[in-house]
Amino acid sequence: MSLQTQPPSLDWPHYGISFGGAITRGFKKYAKFEGRASRSEYWWWTLFTGLVLTVLGLLSLVIGVQTSPDGGETPGAPAVPLLVLLGLFYLAVLVPTIALTVRRLHDVGYSGWLVLLALIPSVGGLILLVFAVLPSSPAGAKYDPLPSYPPASYPPAQYPPNPYQQYPPT
């Protein structure tokens, strides 16, 4: 039985989120670079985008080669809509993927600016992969939103659950 009956607000990481929940949450937090993201949020989103891009890419390749007028050098006309769809999907998930990676780095306790490591050919992506695999860190709590109310006037039981920090902060 889960202690948590409702998912946390979008300001907080959702530990143990489901596949569908992670996709929905990824689009709801489209360009939100503040806060943190749990490992499950990150990896479900990565699986979703990887599967869609792979399926669209393979379909485009197969249909493009089979309908190619010159033996596979240029894609055939039926593959063009799939290639356009592939490009549009890639553009649609680019910003949320970067934002989610920044939030994942925050959850591990690192600055989101480390996402720029992806610009280093070959090793940059591997370094980010290592950071994404790391477990959540108590140091990541510094990226949590600050309460907009005086801590003494708000009962601690109503704070969103945070496994690393006691609320209200002292």
Give pLDDT tens digits for 20-53: 999 999 999 999 999 999 999 999 999 999 999 9
Residue that the structure tokens 């940059």 belong to = 124
DSSP code of 161? Answer: P
Nearest one of 26, 7, 27 to 16, comparing CA atoms: 7
DSSP code of 28? Answer: H
Residue 152 has pLDDT above 70, yes or no: no
pLDDT at residue 147, rounded to an integer: 64
pLDDT at residue 45, rounded to an integer: 97
Give pLDDT tens digits for 47-84: 999 999 999 999 999 999 999 888 778 888 999 999 99
Instruction: Tell the burial category of 28 from Cβ atoms under 10 Å away from its Cβ (0-12, 13-18, 19+).
Output: exposed
Domain regions of the chain by residue span: 33-136
Supply the pTM of this predicted model. Answer: 0.80
Question: What's the Cα-to-Cα distance from 142 to each of 14, 87, 116, 136, 154, rounded to whole Å?
Answer: 17, 36, 21, 12, 20
Give CA–CA dist 120/157, Å, rounded.
45
Nearest one of 85, 87, 130, 135 to 108, comparing CA atoms: 135
Give pLDDT tens digits for 71-125: 778 888 999 999 999 999 999 999 999 999 999 999 999 999 999 999 999 999 9
Give CA–CA dist 166/28, Å, rounded.
27
Asked if residue 168 has a cis previous peptide bond (ω within 30° of 0), the answer is yes
